[in-house]
């Protein structure tokens, strides 16, 4: 079937109207088919090894080889059509009772027995937080702050609690380049951490497995942290050319002392659950075999306590530091904006993605 120019242009416009982010892999494929359909086989010199964003685009385009322009355009149209159909189907599949659950792409949110549970739900990706997931967690926290539950719980689905920030987000660069990406990421990070600082109800982390990066640093903003004995806590910021976030530059020294905080945040020491508990980051550790049963028995008992009393008590405990935490979050975010465009960070991210591609 011959792809008309009108159909091709309609497909290009349709991409902008997609309700669901198709993901970096699909976006690279769309880019490659578009370039092949408009310019033919890849005619650009291969970008340098450290220009990982343009290199990923070049690889995707170059992989199409001598695919004819018309075939590339038709493949582009077919791909966009399948994405549009999928998006429409997902909207139509949101009837009544399931709407709350299906509103989230990367979370499972449930409310019962006075507990709202926000479960990170990308087990195949070790619950790494992509851009959409950041937005969804903020939305879920906002909804939980207003619902009838007494307490809110954050946990992970699968073997991991959370493997931290999804570094493949770096491939999706806006027209303004890496500087615009860093600015956008700074705003997102600051808003994300602010959502935890301002959360009004008791907020509890149920750490079911390894935790990395921001999923560790925000733990200082929780009211209780319960961990399986197979959980670990790792903040490899220096390895990635980054600096601490989640208010950890303030909360960690306060919780565990400056020397222990330095070991984690600067030298990247990984803590076991028992070590994290001994240093005050974790409230209590349970054997993995009985973890879920013991933790949820405890949480259900907590949820029976008078909810307004718990809210007010949290406000009294936390209100004195709220302004300080917001100031720390703003400063950490500002520092990170500069780190994200540094050669150290770009090279480290490139090395990480290269190693990941070889696995």
pLDDT at 141: 97
How many domains does the chain fold into? 2
Pick from 313, 330, 181: nearest CA to 247: 330
Task: For the chain, list residues with pLDDT below 70.
Answer: 1-3, 19, 49-52, 84-102, 168-174, 352-359
pLDDT at 348: 79
Output the domain CATH number for residue 67. 1.20.80.10
For residues 128 and 120, what is the distance between their CA atoms, to the nearest angstrom?
Answer: 9
pLDDT at 268: 96
Containing domain of residue 261, as a range? 97-358
Same domain flag for 53 and 134: no
Domain's final residue, options 47, 65, 92: 92
Return the DSSP state at 64. Answer: T
pLDDT at 90: 43
Q: With H, G, I as helix, E, B as strand and everything else as coil, classify residue 247.
A: coil
Pull the structure tokens for residue 66: 């001598």
Domain's final residue, options 75, 92, 109: 92
> What percent of the chain has pLDDT above 70?
88
Output the domain CATH number for residue 151. 3.90.226.10
Same domain flag for 33 and 126: no
138, 192 in Cβ contact below 8 A? yes
Same domain flag for 42 and 107: no
Same domain flag for 258 and 136: yes
Q: With H, G, I as helix, E, B as strand and everything else as coil, classify residue 153.
A: strand
Would residue 164 be called left, alpha or beta, if left means φ above 0 and alpha means ψ between -120 and 50 degrees?
left
Pull the structure tokens for residue 257: 């002392």
Q: What is the pLDDT of residues 50-72, one digit of tens each?
A: 566 777 788 889 999 999 988 88
Same domain flag for 37 and 106: no
Same domain flag for 118 and 211: yes
Same domain flag for 54 and 174: no
For residues 301 and 318, what is the distance between their CA atoms, to the nearest angstrom?
Answer: 23
For residues 323 and 321, what is the distance between their CA atoms, to the nearest angstrom?
Answer: 6
pLDDT at 158: 94
pLDDT at 207: 98
Residue 61, Cβ neighbours under 10 Å: how many? Answer: 23
Same domain flag for 114 and 65: no
pLDDT at 11: 84
Same domain flag for 105 and 71: no
Q: With H, G, I as helix, E, B as strand and everything else as coil, classify residue 173.
A: coil
Domain's final residue, options 58, 92, 126: 92
Q: At what angle do helices 248-256 and 307-340 cross, to 10 degrees?
A: 120
């Amino acid at each position: 079937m011959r792809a008309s120019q009108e159909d091709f242009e309609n497909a290009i416009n349709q991409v902008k109207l997609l309700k669901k982010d198709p993901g970096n892999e699909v976006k690279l494929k769309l880019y490659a088919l578009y370039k092949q359909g408009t310019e033919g086989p890849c005619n650009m010199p291969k970008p340098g090894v450290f220009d990982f964003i343009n290199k990923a685009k070049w690889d995707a385009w170059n992989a199409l080889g001598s695919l004819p322009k018309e075939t590339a355009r038709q493949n582009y149209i077919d791909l966009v059509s399948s994405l549009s159909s999928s998006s429409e189907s997902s909207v139509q599949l949101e009837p009544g009772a399931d709407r709350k659950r299906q509103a989230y792409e990367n979370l499972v949110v449930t409310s019962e027995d006075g507990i709202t549970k926000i479960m990170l739900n990308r087990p195949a990706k070790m619950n790494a937080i992509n851009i959409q997931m950041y937005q969804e967690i903020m939305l879920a926290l906002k909804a939980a702050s207003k619902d009838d539950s007494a307490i809110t719980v954050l946990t992970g689905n699968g073997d991991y609690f959370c493997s931290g920030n999804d570094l493949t987000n770096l491939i999706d660069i806006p027209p303004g380049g890496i500087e615009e990406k860093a600015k956008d990421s700074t705003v997102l990070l600051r808003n994300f951490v602010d959502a935890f600082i301002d959360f009004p109800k008791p907020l509890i982390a149920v750490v079911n497995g390894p935790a990395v990066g921001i999923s560790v640093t925000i733990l200082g903003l929780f009211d209780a942290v319960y961990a399986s004995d197979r959980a670990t806590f790792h903040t490899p910021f220096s390895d990635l050319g980054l600096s601490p976030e989640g208010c950890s530059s303030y909360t960690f020294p306060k919780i565990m002392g400056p020397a222990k905080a330095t070991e984690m945040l600067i030298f990247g020491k990984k803590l076991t659950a028992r070590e994290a508990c001994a240093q005050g980051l974790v409230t209590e550790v349970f054997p993995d075999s009985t973890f879920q049963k013991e933790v949820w028995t405890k949480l259900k008992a907590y949820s029976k306590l008078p909810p307004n009393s718990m809210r007010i008590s949290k406000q009294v405990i936390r209100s004195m530091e709220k302004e300080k935490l917001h100031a720390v979050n703003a400063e950490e975010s500002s520092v990170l904006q500069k780190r994200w465009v540094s050669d150290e960070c770009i090279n480290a991210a490139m090395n990480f993605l290269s190693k990941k591609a070889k696995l």
